[in-house]
Structure 1
Amino acid sequence: MALESLPEASFLTRLPSCRRLPDNAFRQGLIGAHSIGISFAPTSTLDGIDNGEISFGGVDDSKYTGDINYVPLTTTYPSSIYVGINQTITYGSQKLPILSDNAGITDTGTTLLLIATDAFQAYQAATGAEADPDIGLLRLTPDQFDKLESLFFTIGKETYEFTANAQIWPRALNAAIGGTDDFVYLIINDIGTPSGYGMDFIDGMSFLERFYSVYDTGNNRFGIANTDHTFA
């Protein structure tokens, strides 16, 4: 099965209407606050299992650890018409620059973590990964994977670690995308435009599975927190 045909959890967060959904529900008395809390967990099976939860009107304190870090929604177009934020990405213990403080969006309807072309090239160079011509993902040998370091996402004043395990396609599902056990496939890919475009990343499901996120449209802000799956 090709990557493009894999099922996606689409909550329409890529659509401008997502920002209006909590407001409309609040006005109708359906929820008590203009916010949505979203929790997902990584999975290694294609079977239909419950690995996510959406909390309308608030957050579920049992789904995250520590505090929720809230940041203003970005004003940079076109990310500003979606659930957009600003973030910086670095790689490894040496904090190699991957993406400067630019705007992008979070989206449950996108499988991968997409970054601007120049950022993607910097990531590929840092990891030593090669492109798989058939699948369209970067790949590493098992020995290379053993040396893969974490990515670090700075969102507001907080920095979040995206571990080596978080950066890879579930190895149990390699065959589902036409891959083999000879390689480890990476879930970071090219968004197709250079940085500075106004949407320099899409933090898709592969990212959101590792964190708890909150769309608080009533206060025009986005929240993020670590979970039990962040370092799994």
Structure 2
Amino acid sequence: MSLLCLLTLPALAFLSLSASAMPHPRAASSTSALKLAVRIHSNGIKNIAAADRARARTLVEAGSSSSIGNVTNAGVMYTADIGVGSPPAYHTVVVDTGSSNTWIANKSYTKTSTSYDTGNQFVVSYGDGFNYTLVAGEEYTDTITLTSNLVIEKQSIGVAFNVSGMGSVDGILGLGPVDLTWGTVSNAEEVPTVMDNLYTQNTISSEVFGVFFSPASAGDTSGELTFGGYDQSKITGDVGYAHITTTSPANGYWGVDEAISYGETKILTSAAGIVDTGTTLILIASDAFDSYKSGTGAILDASTGLLKISSDQYNQLSSLFFEIGEESYELTPNAQIWPRSLNTAINGTTDGIYLVVSDIGMQSGSGLDVINGYCFLERFYSIFDKTNSRVGLAETQYTYATTN
């Protein structure tokens, strides 16, 4: 797989006009899938652990203040191609469950007959790994084409000015809760998301979407984002569900209560975490991270910002267990290491063994103690169910893969 560059930018919120005057008939119980690709960031990010921690900080601040949406840089990200306007011009956007808004950069936006400038402005803060930056622009409504069966009318879309460092990525497709859009657009409070409008315009029959992707090292780029349900063919067992946590700020996202054990040793109990496609690594509270570091015998590698272990230590590595809802999800030793074929993308040595569990930068009890990012989600199918306020996880053919 070629290494493509990626820079995630802030998730913005935008005003959405829900449906046309005449209501559409409710879609039959069926799903429609949007193909995903994985992009490896290889331009500018030298420490993905620091970048992920910056994202965690902005997630905590946004969830506590309800004032900004946010995203930050990441080493690995899901992307999709969506159409904007009529006829649609296609743009590559980051698929982000940790933000709730859809936007593209001004340089890539072409006005068509369905483009309408609302006159509203948006502004949001994001972390770039070390600093915070504001991104601002103009709000439009326009037609969004996800697939031939998924077309949204009058969807709010931000057109961001002065956005730099995005490489070949044009913007964000936000799939988080609508509350994250609060106060980010002038003359609006909350603004309906893409999922909100798909449902209110009767394009999907259920406010559910599923995310599937294989490990980057498996060489399979056939990821899918399924709207209106999930793809049963992608899972190998039953789906386990967990209700959205009541703990703030995790409850402002796709947050769940969870506990973590390294082997037979409990390293985190009664924690609130979030399931987030916009984070690369698996981030855990600092005290839990110290316990994990001690248990694995790893050392912190200055070049990558990740824990590094020897071959002998890898052979002794225990599984990491995440208790979410009524189920336990096993992250095998192979699933705990960065794909060795992609070591150079993170400034590592070709023969190094780096762990994908990193320090969130806060002690447990912060209200956001775990982020189950890409390196977790590539091993488990994830289901996001707004109607029932829950998150589902299931094993796939890659749960126990040894491709890393």
- Contact map agreement 1:89 1:99 (CA 8 A) in 2: yes
User: What CA distance in whole angstroms lies between the structure 2 residues aligned with 1:14 and 1:135?
Assistant: 24
Q: Which residue of 2 aligns with 1:37?
A: 210
Q: For 1:4-83, what aligned pairs fall within 5 Å after superposition?
A: 4=48, 6-9=75-78, 10-15=94-99, 18-20=176-178, 21=193, 22-44=195-217, 50-83=221-254
Q: In structure 2, how many angstroms separate the alpha carbons of the residues matched to 1:51 and 1:149?
A: 30
Q: Distance in 2 between matches of 1:64 and 1:109?
A: 22
Contact (CA 8 Å) 1:78, 1:199: kept in 2 or not?
Answer: yes
Alpha-carbon distance between aligned partners in 2 of 1:134 and 1:140, rounded to the nearest angstrom: 14
Q: Which residue, out of 114, 126, 145, partners 2:283?
A: 114
Could you tell me which residue of structure 2 aligns to residue 215 of structure 1?
A: 384
Match of 1:224 among 393, 397, 400: 393
TM-score (norm 2): 0.54
1 or 2 for the larger relative contact order (CA 8 Å, sep ≥6)? 1
Deviation at 1:50, TM superposition (A): 2.4
Alignment partners' CA distance in 2, 1:51 and 1:114: 26
In the alignment, the residues of structure 2 paired with residue 113 and residue 61 of structure 1 have an alpha-carbon distance, to the nearest angstrom, of 25
Question: 2 CA distance for matches of 1:218 and 1:127?
Answer: 40
TM-aligned CA deviation for residue 3 of structure 1:
4.5
Q: Which has the larger radius of gyration?
A: 2
The CA distance in 2 between the partners of 1:13 and 1:33, in whole Å, is 17
Q: After the TM superposition, which of the residue ranges 208-217 and 174-183 deviates more from structure 2?
A: 174-183
Alpha-carbon distance in 2 for matches of 1:147, 1:198: 32
Distance in 2 (alpha carbons) for counterparts of 1:197 and 1:98: 16
Aligned partners of 1:152 and 1:160 also within 8 Å: yes
On the 8 A contact 1:79/1:198 being kept in 2, the answer is: yes
Distance 1:16 1:198 in 2: 20
Residue 16 of structure 1: how far off its partner (Å)? 5.1
Q: Greater shift after overlay, 123-132 or 180-189?
A: 180-189
Identity, % of aligned pairs? 47
Unpaired runs of at least 5, structure 2: 1-41, 49-73, 79-93, 102-175, 179-192
> What SS does structure 1 have at the residue aligned with 2:95?
coil
8 Å CA contact 1:106–1:204 kept in 2: the answer is yes
Separation in 1, partners of 2:224, 2:209:
10
Q: Say how many residue pairs are matched.
A: 228
Question: Aligned partners of 2:329 and 2:245: how far apart in 1?
Answer: 19
Whether contact under 8 Å (1:209, 1:229) holds in the other structure is yes
Q: Which residue type is aligned with residue 141 of structure 1?
A: S
TM superposition shift of 1:52: 1.4
Contact kept? 1:167, 1:186, Cα under 8 Å:
yes
Q: Deviations over 1:49-106 (max 9, x none)?
A: 62411100001010111111111111110001111001110011xx101111210101
Q: Secondary structure, in 3 states, of the residue corresponding to 2:258?
A: strand
CA distance in 2, matches of 1:201, 1:71: 15
* CA deviation vs aligned residue, 1:169-211 (integer Å, no higher than 9, x gap): 0001112212113420000000000000000010000000000
Report the Cα offset of residue 157 of structure 1: 1.2
Matched position secondary structure for 1:44: helix
CA drift at 1:7: 4.4
Q: Structure 2: how far apart are the matches of 1:182 and 1:39?
A: 29
Question: 5+ unaligned residues in a row in structure 1: which ranges?
Answer: none
Q: Which has the higher helix share?
A: 1
Report how far residue 6 of structure 1 moved: 3.3
Tell me the residue number matched to 1:176.
345
| Partner AA of 2:336 in structure 1 | Q
TM-score computed with the length of structure 1 as normaliser: 0.93
Separation in 1 of the partners of 2:377 and 2:239?
14
